[in-house]
Amino acid sequence: MKNKLKIFTAGLLLTFAAAHFTSCGYEPVFYGIMHDVLPEAATVTGNINAIARCTVDSNEYLFVSNGGSLLYKSINANHHGAWTNSGIALPFAPHHYNYNATAYEGEGHQGQQILYVLSDKDFIYLLTANYTQNDEYGIGVPDTVFLWACALSDVLTGDSSKWETITTNTPNETRVPRLETTKDNATTQFVMNFYLFSSNAPQNNHRTAYLAIRDSGSVNYYTLNGQSAPTSKTITDKKLTNNNASEIHSVFFFGDDYYFSDSYVVATNETKDDSATVAVLASSDTLYKLTDASANPTSFISIGSPVASLAFTNDSLLVGKGSYTSSYTSNGGISRILLDSSGVPQSSTAAFTNNAPYQFTSSYILMTLLCADPSKDEAQASIYATITYRGSSGSTSATFNDIGLWSYYPARGNWNRE
């Protein structure tokens, strides 16, 4: 819900058209308009790449960042306007551009931008970058990339000294691993030679996080260990490959062990009380299911669009769609798959009983999906999504103001802005 449509007199025409179409077999048009809802005021805007589950002093929270701030809310705060940064003190200023040097701050790019948030059972991690001006291209480009760690017991104490960097990009630094960015001469883009992934499980003891670094055609993996140096991780067993690729991009807890996959998007039906019995992995537009720890995942449905995110509820699997490589977004949106009596996704999609498809049209990429309590049916669960789009508003029906965090709350009964 990051973009808002401006409808005034056009709304009268649409209402008239809908009333006319209902007599000509066009009931879906009228049905879609009736599912439009009054938008909530947007409180969390911007591109949000992740929603991290964190346990702080036995309390469950969700943490997000829109690049400038680190925000959190209680997982039980099932209402609009609950996100806050109260008690959080970061060791850097938000990224901004200073046009005039002062006694306290130089000219140019200042501060750091938060690129990604993830956690394990004891620590929260922030991937950040500061920027410099590239005169050759006339743009700001990443200068130094940082990976910060803070104990979850300290994250809300308001003490910025509790954060420490655990990696470096300095070539002569003895610590490893190094986080480096390089320029792709073919595309003139600056790319990162590393990435992060985590299990983000509902149960705190099942949360773990990893760093992967590409080096001379191979990939080296590291387990994040809080504020200690990451340790090398060899992934040889429990490896599930749907894409016939060599890189691992995800980890999930299934049954009683961690599993790794080359799939970018994975979800399980784990709840706060029970381990997962079903896992779903995405490969492009095809979904695979895993119900036996000793078997390989098997394909069960093709969604028709690239899968960008997944989330289980007790009675459904939500599928976020969209491609990051297209010049503009036309294959995004959201789909719904019902679960059978054993909790296994069926091989066909089902209609929504709420306004999800009318808020999340094919013009939006569903970057993340998260069900706060997967033991609850979809209609009774609190669910979160972050959306964005590629291209200009003129090339799609998306609007800039919709980019950000959205939520579904049972008491509200619809998807709306956070």
Q: What is the model's pLDDT at position 53?
A: 98
**Distance in angstroms (rounded) separating the CA atoms of residues 165 and 121:** 18
Question: Which residues contact residue 172 at a Cβ distance below 8 angstroms, ignoring those fewer than 6 apart?
Answer: none
**Distance in angstroms (rounded) separating the CA atoms of residues 211 and 233:** 9
The percent of residues in the chain predicted with pLDDT above 90, rounded, is 67
Average pLDDT, integer, range 45-57: 97
What is the DSSP annotation of 108-146? EEESBEEEEEEE-SSEEEEEEEEEEEETTTTEEEEEEEE
Indicate the DSSP class of residue 168: B
Give the long-range contacts of residues 214-222, CB within 8 A, separation 24 or more. 219/246, 219/247, 219/248, 220/177, 221/248, 222/177
Per-residue confidence band for 95, with pLDDT thresholds at 50, 70 and 90 = confident
- The pLDDT tens digits of the residues spanning 61-81 come to 999 999 999 999 999 999 999
CB burial of 5-17 (b: ≥16 within 10 Å; e: otherwise) equals eeeeeeeeebeee
CB 322 within 8 A of CB 309: no
Q: Return the ∠ at Cα 318 (arms to 210 and 326), rounded to 5°.
A: 70
- Nearest to 348, CA basis, from 310, 303, 309, 308: 303
- The pLDDT tens digits of the residues spanning 1-13 come to 444 433 333 333 3
Per-residue confidence band for 140, with pLDDT thresholds at 50, 70 and 90 = confident
Per-residue confidence band for 378, with pLDDT thresholds at 50, 70 and 90 = very high
Per-residue confidence band for 321, with pLDDT thresholds at 50, 70 and 90 = very high
**Distance in angstroms (rounded) separating the CA atoms of residues 287 and 319:** 10
CB 135 within 8 A of CB 117: no
